[in-house]
Structure 1
């Protein structure tokens, strides 16, 4: 509808009550700006107000304030109810973990043991106690044919019944549900369901996980050296690969008393030099990854697209939780974001991240619904620039952001070319624009850019490395395909 309003196809929006339109003052302010810009008005069937007067706008803001207050109070009551129920050991819904099913009686908020799946859970705990390495457990679980939980949603969409990823196994080993407890935020309470494993096994596995997390890369364990053991100083270890499929491996160098961390393509560590291999400063790269996840959560929360659900209150509660998680990631950085990552791929201009659905559900403490598929697959612009000896990583939101300076230059280029076609000389154009002849000459060349490049500039989807300075200082080829290659556009599919 907003798209139709923007194109002028709708000139009036009719609502039953104003709180059916929005229950957020901030959202309403943005909505009013969009409606005003498009010359569209809105009318409430049951409420009379006139936004053309100051008193009418005050009345409208008061009505919206009460609507927002009602929404926030309802969300608080739901959160309090969930917390109180979990303290009693009740299961508050969502996708049940591997090894459990919801009670057949829907009025009983508890889990029942699924003995067939519980065998898989016990085997994963036993494998980790034996091997002490998540990567080794993942490989052995695949060899033994262990599979994740198969779940069919009400929409008939199926999930699971696939080989375990490293992140999924870690989530299983850290889940206190298997000890007969119900988790709420950073606490857990005795549950009404039966435990899958005993306390002694749980304690041994947790102690080993903690010890492994604190161990330096390459240090020895009781089972010998584990070069791929979880590294507290490399939270992205084992999670990301480059465009060739080569895993990004933590590395470091020392200069005096300073230790510099990097993520490098594994072939650079174990083989010959490769110009196509990646060598990224760890701190900047981790910040870029955390920023991409934070941006994705924030956008999904603002659009109420965090989970797949129809209940408005449930959607709003999930959005509030996503905002809270994004704030924690902004404060704590990659330490908060890394456990959410299942896998990822880095390319010369794009960073792709796949989040673990189970880990995200746990971090958001979802009681109903499942994470939206679009939220689990993140794409963000990614570009590296070298300034002297320093490598700068440029990453950000995938939302297109048009560059007004480039658009203005492109508009001037076409206008000046039209003037010259009409018979004006370069000097007349220069005098009218009040610019030097060299500047006018360089800018006019933009009118002869490939249509794909011009459209990308207008839409704001051009490569991060493409700036106005790059355009006017480059020796621009006449061939459009050559221009696209020169300025970093992917080949057309």
Structure 2
């Protein structure tokens, strides 16, 4: 929700549409206040949401958010009646995204959010692959990590994912259904193109040509 409100305020400020009648004299100060609000929202100030959101309604595929006029006016340092009605009303689509057992509601144009489990798995895989290249036995790595050798074998292969897949994981733009469990299940294909075809829901969308 915070992201959707931040995007809405940012767009309205960019169009000079926060006020019913744009005030040229207050334009620069208003833009600065709006920018501060956007930064705070994207920074995760949950208390701020409680102050500026009056109500929210969830439809079949859209969410409607009504902002509190007086609270928003106070933050932007303008008279409440000067705020346009469009500024106070937000309607945006949402999607249900599932990653493993986790379910998230994605509102509006959600910025990429890397999967921490995948990131940790990828980082460990590269560390273990480097250890093996240094000549450290897999049994020693397994003993150090307090896991089985089979556990190391199934996960070290992540170090050999295609560069596009690895970059997507780092950016948080991998297909929604791509989980660590899915990647380590079975033998990973050696061919990068085959990997991308197997693990991408839509290869052209998820892994565009570079």
TM-score range, shorter chain: 0.5 to 0.7
Displacement of 1:482 in angstroms is 1.7
Structure 2 equivalent of residue 312 of structure 1: 29
Q: How does 1:132-151 map to 2 (within 5 A)?
A: none
Structure 1 equivalent of residue 58 of structure 2: 333
Structure 1 equivalent of residue 105 of structure 2: 395
Would you say the 8 A contact 1:318–1:364 is kept in 2?
A: no
Q: Deviations over 1:94-150 (max 9, x none)?
A: xxxxxxxxxxxxxxxxxxxxxxxxxxxxxxxxxxxxxxxxxxxxxxxxxxxxxxxxx
Distance 2:35 2:129 in 1: 53
Structure 1 equivalent of residue 203 of structure 2: 490
Superposition TM-score, scaled by structure 2 size: 0.59
Of residues 419, 427, 439, the one that matches 2:151 is 439
Closer/same/farther in 2, CA of residues 428 and 319 from structure 1, 3 Å limit: closer
Q: Deviations over 1:281-306 (max 9, x none)?
A: xxxxxxxxxx6xx63223554xx553
> How many matched pairs?
164
Displacement of 1:381 in angstroms is 6.3
Q: Deviations over 1:218-266 (max 9, x none)?
A: xxxxxxxxxxxxxxxxxxxxxxxxxxxxxxxxxxxxxxxxxxxxxxxxx
Bigger relative contact order (CA 8 A; separation at least 6): 2
Closer/same/farther in 2, CA of residues 385 and 428 from structure 1, 3 Å limit: closer
**How well do the aligned residues superpose, as a CA RMSD in angstroms?**
4.2
Superposition TM-score, scaled by structure 1 size: 0.28
Residue segments in structure 1 that go unaligned for 5+ positions in a row: 1-290, 341-360, 367-374
Distance 1:318 1:454 in 2: 33
> Within the alignment, does 1:454 sit opposite 2:166 as a pair?
yes
Would you say the 8 A contact 1:382–1:464 is kept in 2?
A: no
Would you say the 8 A contact 1:402–1:461 is kept in 2?
A: yes
Q: Deviations over 1:310-332 (max 9, x none)?
A: 52226636987x96998245x33
Distance 1:297 1:381 in 2: 16
Q: Deviations over 1:166-192 (max 9, x none)?
A: xxxxxxxxxxxxxxxxxxxxxxxxxxx
Of residues 296, 301, 308, the one that matches 2:4 is 296
Q: How does 1:243-322 map to 2 (within 5 A)?
A: 295-301=3-9, 304-308=10-14, 309=16, 310-313=27-30, 316=33
Would you say the 8 A contact 1:298–1:326 is kept in 2?
A: no
Higher helix share: 2
Could you say which structure has the larger radius of gyration? 1
Q: How does 1:44-193 map to 2 (within 5 A)?
A: none
Closer/same/farther in 2, CA of residues 454 and 447 from structure 1, 3 Å limit: same
